[in-house]
Structure 1
Amino acid sequence: MKAAILGAMPGINHIQRVVISDPGKPAYGEIRVRIASNSLNFHDFNVAVGVLPAAAGRILLSDGAGVVEEVGEGVTEFAPGDNVVSLFFPDWREGEATVANFSRTPGDGIDGYAVSRVVRPAGWFTHMPKGWTHSEAATLPTAGLTAWRALVVNGKIKAGDDVLILGTGGVSIFALQFALMAGARVWATTSSDEKAQWLLKKGVAGVVNYRTEPEWGKKIFDMTGGRGVDHVIEIGGPGTLSQSIAAARIGGHISLIGVFTGVTGDVSTGDIIAKQLKIKGVAVGNRAHQCDMIKALNATNIRPVIDCIFPFEEITAAFEHQIGNRHIGKICLEL
């Protein structure tokens, strides 16, 4: 069966497409899954280029969706033919996080889902939303769940809240959808007038181009009538955090999710204290969170925004499209 693995040298051009042995039959508590689709995340790119060091030969990609082919003894939650989707933290079932690294994250510390078939513990998957394609479901384990936990689990979002999203990547677009689902008002930043028009058509109240408006945090603050936003989906890191703080209301909530601008930098501690902000790091979520999210998705008409779908053999081209930063929503692969 086919797989995409990390080469001996880091870099997307060194990703190897190989043929590996079939995983065989599931043991007690395991299921055998035919993987039909993956989605790409910034985390996957960082593994592929060596920013997050992983072992040569590691099967790539944290997110996978597919069909159960066989279940092992003792498995009652799934049956052959069920459509399932993976977990970013397969051992984190519920409650607070128990690890502060990616040693058990598929495609990083352990083998991922860029492969035709896997045999894994049944608890490493959940059911997919009903009626979704495998590509749609593959967008959920990282991007979808991160946005859900930031706004719903941690942020306790409610109707009438103001939410700020940065850019049009997977997490931000899911946050837009979840915020509108909750009856919140959404504001956004982007670097493209074309993307700004797309966001406005999708229900965003206002958009600021951060390339032409470097003080976009103050601009967003003013656009809310001088109150500021209740929630910020902060995916930039140190290069954008000061502007996110400027955009937030007194007592607002900032979900610190991404590190697109780096992992260290200056922090406006005085402004954080003056505004009495709540800043919480968010690293995806647990299995219970994913089940709750999928329950909500089954009760709504939300469908993920997929920019494009590449054939599995074109995984390098898919990463190239990702780093081009022209996409809106998610980039997927189909096996």
Structure 2
Amino acid sequence: MQRFAVDSTINRWEIPSLGLDQLALRAVPRPTPKAGEILVEVEAVSLNYRDAEVADNGMGNALTFPFTPASDMAGRVVAVGEGVTRFTPGDRVLSAYIPEWIDGVPLSWTQAPTQGGPIPGMLAQYVVTPAEWCVRAPRTLNAIEASTLPVAALTAWMALVELGNLHAGQSVVVQGTGGVSLFAVQLAAAHGARVIVTSGSDEKIARAIALGASHGINRNTTPDWQHAVLELTNGRGADHILEMTGGNNVERSLQAVTQGGRISVIGLLDSDRLSLPILALLASRASIVGIAVGPRRALEDLVRTVDLLGIKPVIDATYAYSQVPQAFAHLRRGAFGKIVVRVSEA
């Protein structure tokens, strides 16, 4: 029989004001679900680059302090409030990043706040959340693996499958080897696409090829990587490019994309600005689309796909709950795949 803790206090990571260096573990009362809410024992929290930025500078969010960072959670329902029928105690769940975006056309940012800023995040032993803000976890993944899906995997899914209409025989350029990029490699390969990875590390390129990529381009030895993409595609260019860098790199993506292809802007590793010639964009007939994760319904679709295809998230490192500062430090250094905090041993 599943046994749940009943302690009156829990431990939660908080910052008293902006600054990741102020992160500290605090004892707080154990929350109780109200009508429409569920109490979740958090088992694992996956970290995203955004989580560190929100804690450091807010990223434009008006945070309420003390603030708990991190948006991605996998856990187990402990109790349900009055009127909840979506889940029952014992169910395994994931948090939805933009919880009020259920489906269809997205709401404005002010109407659709995000988990982990401005909504308080998940780095706690227990969280109370509206039942509508969660989805069922995949059957084929453990909590550590499942916690990586709500932001990184769903972003790749939206860029390639939901919005990109990816299909077999197409070519995809994936920039870097972080969480979104490696999910994109696996999803594209599973759909029968040809995947080209760009990275500054030959070792990481080899690992990405082992995950399903067809080719790799070292952007340090080949800074004008767009020419290599054209060579690999016999001059045609790639159907999809996941743009993770920003700045002048977008112009290279534009040169590497096929006529009428798609550039999904996801990251801003070099710059939070885009720089490209308008005439070249007009001539390419390419679509440049911003990807900001996706709705709850798409996360549910992704979960079913993960179970069906047997996709396993790439975890670079797992940290104990007491090691959250070290986990963020690893995140800042860069990772091959995801960094996950193990909150409980469940």
Say yes or no: TM over 0.5.
yes
Distance in structure 2 (CA, Å) of the matches to 1:166 and 1:174: 12
Q: Which amino acid aligns with 1:106?
A: Q
TM-score by length of 1: 0.96
Give yes or no for the alignment of 1:90 onto 2:99.
yes
Partner residue of 1:15 out of 23, 29, 33: 23
Q: Which amino acid aligns with 1:65?
A: A
Q: Which residue of 2 aligns with 1:240?
A: 249
Shift of 1:240: 1.9
Q: Which residue of 2 aligns with 1:333?
A: 341
Q: Is the 8 A contact 2:98 2:112 kept in 1?
A: no
Q: Which residue of 1 aligns with 2:35?
A: 28
Shift of 1:100: 2.8
Q: Which residue of 2 aligns with 1:60?
A: 69
- Supply the RMSD in Å over aligned alpha carbons: 1.4
Distance in structure 2 (CA, Å) of the matches to 1:44 and 1:89: 14
Partner residue of 2:240 out of 212, 228, 231: 231
Residues 157 and 200 (structure 1), Cα distance of their counterparts in 2 relative to 1, 3 Å cut: same
Distance in structure 1 (CA, Å) of the matches to 2:112 and 2:121: 12
State the SS of the aligned residue for 2:310: coil
Q: Which residue of 2 aligns with 1:146?
A: 155
State the SS of the aligned residue for 1:263: coil
Distance in structure 1 (CA, Å) of the matches to 2:301 and 2:112: 25
- Of residues 123-132 and 255-264 in structure 1, the stretch that sits farther from structure 2 once superposed is 255-264
Q: Which residue of 2 aligns with 1:127?
A: 136
* Unaligned stretches of 5+ residues in structure 2: 1-9
The within-5 A match list for 1:1-335 is 1-10=10-19, 12-24=20-32, 26-50=33-57, 52=59, 54-100=63-109, 104-325=113-334, 327-335=335-343
- Of residues 284-293 and 68-77 in structure 1, the stretch that sits farther from structure 2 once superposed is 68-77
Q: Which amino acid aligns with 2:37?
A: E
Q: Which amino acid aligns with 2:294?
A: G
Q: Which residue of 1 aligns with 2:3?
A: none
Q: Which residue of 1 aligns with 2:6?
A: none
Q: Which amino acid aligns with 1:189?
A: T
Shift of 1:102: 9.2
TM-score by length of 2: 0.93
Identity across matched positions, percent: 36
Shift of 1:51: 5.4
Q: Is the 8 A contact 2:45 2:122 kept in 1?
A: yes
Query: What do residues 24-63 of structure 1 show as CA deviations (whole Å, max 9, x unaligned)?
Result: 2x22221110111101101101112215153431111011
Shift of 1:67: 0.2
- Name segments (4+ residues, structure 1) moved above 4 Å: none
State the SS of the aligned residue for 2:120: coil
Distance in structure 1 (CA, Å) of the matches to 2:180 and 2:111: 19
Q: Is the 8 A contact 2:101 2:112 kept in 1?
A: no
